[in-house]
Structure 1
Amino acid sequence: MGSKAAMRERVTGWRAAAGVFACAAVLSGCDDRKAEPGVPDAGAPPPAAQTGARASATLAAVRQRGYLRCGVHQGLVGFAVQDNRGQWRGFDIDFCRAMAAAIFGDAERARFTPLTAETRYDALASDQIDVLWRNSSWTMTKDTEGRFAFAGINYYDGQGFLVRRSLDLNSASELNGARICVASGSTSALNLADDFRSRGLAYTPVVAPNEEAARSAYAREDCDAFSADISALAAARTTLSDPQQHAILADIVSKEPLGPVTRRGDEQWTALVRWTLNAVILAEELGVTRDNVRSLAKDSRDPRVRRLLGLESDFGAPLGLSKTWAASAIGAVGNYGEIFDRNLGPQSPLDLTRGLNAQWNARSGGLIYGLPVR
């Protein structure tokens, strides 16, 4: 089972040229430093009269509780995973920690609830978590059903296929008749059905209860290919006994804009999530880093930096936060590029390229664009 000969008995089709999408997965390498010493405390809320917005019931509950509850992936290398000491690390983890720093001035006041693809939205709707930071695709259905609000996009992804090199496949078009592992309750299952239907291809879905189970099924050779977001496939490849014997096909069959999700009805809370994400994105564009935020928060002459870090005007008040909320968030986890590099990029073992997740004004421009603070 799983041999090239067995595969060829099931698989028919034609080979088509496809563009190259280079990617790799990562082991996150973030450290546990707290907010930079010297960055003003963001924990004290501004006077209610200064906020100019309806007070957030979610923010009030978070403050009363003393910590932020984030729903995260139950185990995806690079995005959310517990290390051998039980500490949560990863790309999405750092964004949650940035929020805790913006609210409390302390990134350690974040708690993480691992959730499956099927349980994540129910957990958010039932107030088990305050915000969902878990590889969730922003789609029209999710956006318009009335329960949830997407606060932004922190990662642009796409769905692909992981296969064994021994099968000598170059395109998903050659997977006609194949067994394909996919997680239940995910957008990936719907995308897979749509893509193969549009191509006129047949396949046998091997549906697993969650992404981890789908990875395990692929590792056992219960299927010929594993379909999920490219980032998830790259992470899955790192867990296999011989990662070099597996390849991600060039085909990208969907657009997956991933980002944080909140409950509808608390606009100020959704804005707080949105602008914390935007603050670390804008920080990279403006050259504000984890190491220099303290000095820039004292004497920067750039008006854009001064507004971001609370030296001019008070942009924290409409969010129910202090003037230095963004400085505290950046001091705790760094800017977007720093978060990406240590979790998904060159500072991680697998060196994922920025691609679409590069800044808009980079030499090879991407889609990451900081909204103006003014």
Structure 2
Amino acid sequence: MIARGFLFAVFLAGAVGMIGQSASAQTEPGPTLSTILKRGYLACGVSEAPGFAQPPAGDKGDWTGFDVDFCRAVAAAIFDDPKKVRFLGLAAKDRVPALQAGWVDLLASAAPWTQSRDSGQRAIYAGASFYDGQSFLVRRQRSFASAQDLSNVSVCVQQGTSYELELADFFHKRKAPYEPKLFPTFDGAAAGYDKSQCDVLTADTSMLAAARTKLSAPDEHAVLPDMIAKAPRGPVVRHGDDQWLAIIRWTLFTLIDAEELQVSSANADAALKSEEPSIRHLLGVEGDRSAGLALPGDWTYRVVKHVGNFADVFERNMGQASPLGMERRANALWSKGGLMYAPPVR
């Protein structure tokens, strides 16, 4: 018994030592973070689209958009400076190749999250930052309250896309007659709708919101509230660097949790003095927020202070006061009827 006890004690001491070494090693910057720190800025790939990422209007302007703000949040976490990021506008076909080649450290968002994209491109989605999906743009005078009201309508849709297939499935399941009006591009479909060549326009809600702003009379049109297909979007990183994946994932979770706890850039400093445990954990007043991430202990505070919370990012780029005028809907917090839910930062 003594021998067995002695051997177990030796084994346990060795195991604890190995765990300690592993924890210590995790505090060192991984390959992606090391490259960024040495370079002095974050390289972020974005797809130019209204609300998501728009390039500077002039030589002295800045990139703006929902995805742009997420990149700035990551830069704030690393450098305490949201401006230490350079943006690379990428076409759809170039996004993943640019990530794999190391031209960018992060794709702020890519094509909608699917199994094949997540597992077949040596890239991994860190989370869902925007719940998009196919819906319909209609004229308010038609008084359509939801997609279920659509019957005997003509629908403008981009040919050869998943939108065309989902549209056919939607009406087939309901046994409702409709007439597809096919166009080679989405812009063409939107123009056809504006010219009354069809009753309804279909695509993802974010695309419809952007198309609505370009119509001859935007206020006379509305995006229906229900979606007939899912298209979640979010930040994407390369396989093989778990630390970097965790940094991106928890930057997103920090934005969401900050909104739930009502901590924003406007009150972040005051919130540092809060007695609420959840807020103290969120901002790094209590607990070790840097464990395993090789970031400063106040990195979560930096994110909120410089960029705000999820509501701040959404509203200024896509919300009711922005040109897109989108409602939160699926992108509202889980406690307010939406899908935005994040594990606690603690």
Q: Which TM bucket (shorter chain)?
A: 0.7 to 0.9
The aligned amino acid for 2:314 is F
Counterpart among 206, 210, 217 of residue 183 in structure 2? 206
Structure 1 window deviating more from structure 2 (53-62 vs 328-337): it is 53-62
Per the alignment, residue 182 of structure 1 pairs with: 158
Summarize the Cα distance change of 1:246–1:305 in structure 2 as closer, same or farther, 3 Å threshold.
closer
Cα deviation 1:118-155 (Å, max 9, x = unaligned): 33223223322211123632212212225111111112
Per the alignment, residue 322 of structure 1 pairs with: 296
Query: CA-atom RMSD, angstroms?
Result: 3.1
Per the alignment, residue 271 of structure 2 pairs with: 296
Question: 8 Å contact 2:53–2:68 — kept in the other structure?
Answer: yes
Distance 1:253 1:137 in 2: 14
Distance 1:67 1:270 in 2: 17
Question: 8 Å contact 1:68–1:111 — kept in the other structure?
Answer: yes
Summarize the Cα distance change of 1:357–1:168 in structure 2 as closer, same or farther, 3 Å threshold.
closer
TM-score normalized with structure 1 length: 0.74
The aligned amino acid for 1:358 is A
Summarize the Cα distance change of 1:56–1:188 in structure 2 as closer, same or farther, 3 Å threshold.
farther
The aligned amino acid for 2:229 is S
Question: 8 Å contact 1:152–1:274 — kept in the other structure?
Answer: yes
Counterpart among 246, 251, 255 of residue 271 in structure 1? 246
Per the alignment, residue 367 of structure 1 pairs with: 339
The aligned amino acid for 1:206 is F
Distance 2:345 2:224 in 1: 40
Per the alignment, residue 238 of structure 1 pairs with: 213
Per the alignment, residue 344 of structure 1 pairs with: 318
Structure 2 unaligned residues grouped into runs of 5+? 1-21
Deviation at 1:169, TM superposition (A): 7.5
| Structure index of larger Rg | 2
Structure 1 window deviating more from structure 2 (55-64 vs 95-104): it is 55-64
Summarize the Cα distance change of 1:116–1:168 in structure 2 as closer, same or farther, 3 Å threshold.
farther
Distance 1:125 1:183 in 2: 30
The aligned runs of 1:82-93 (5 Å cut-off) are 82=55, 84-85=57-58, 86-93=61-68
If asked which structure has higher relative contact order (CA below 8 Å, sep 6+), I would say: 1
TM-score normalized with structure 2 length: 0.79
Q: How many residues are matched?
A: 318
Question: 8 Å contact 2:209–2:325 — kept in the other structure?
Answer: no
Could you tell me the percent identity over the aligned residues? 42
Structure 1 window deviating more from structure 2 (56-65 vs 321-330): it is 56-65
Summarize the Cα distance change of 1:102–1:244 in structure 2 as closer, same or farther, 3 Å threshold.
same
Structure 1 window deviating more from structure 2 (241-250 vs 88-97): it is 241-250
Structure 1 window deviating more from structure 2 (352-361 vs 278-287): it is 352-361
Per the alignment, in what secondary structure is the counterpart of residue 256 of structure 2?
A: helix
Per the alignment, in what secondary structure is the counterpart of residue 73 of structure 2?
A: helix
Per the alignment, residue 356 of structure 1 pairs with: 330
Per the alignment, in what secondary structure is the counterpart of residue 72 of structure 2?
A: helix
Summarize the Cα distance change of 1:195–1:128 in structure 2 as closer, same or farther, 3 Å threshold.
farther
Cα deviation 1:297-340 (Å, max 9, x = unaligned): 3x232222222222223222311211011111111110111212
Distance 1:187 1:126 in 2: 28
Structure 1 unaligned residues grouped into runs of 5+? 1-47
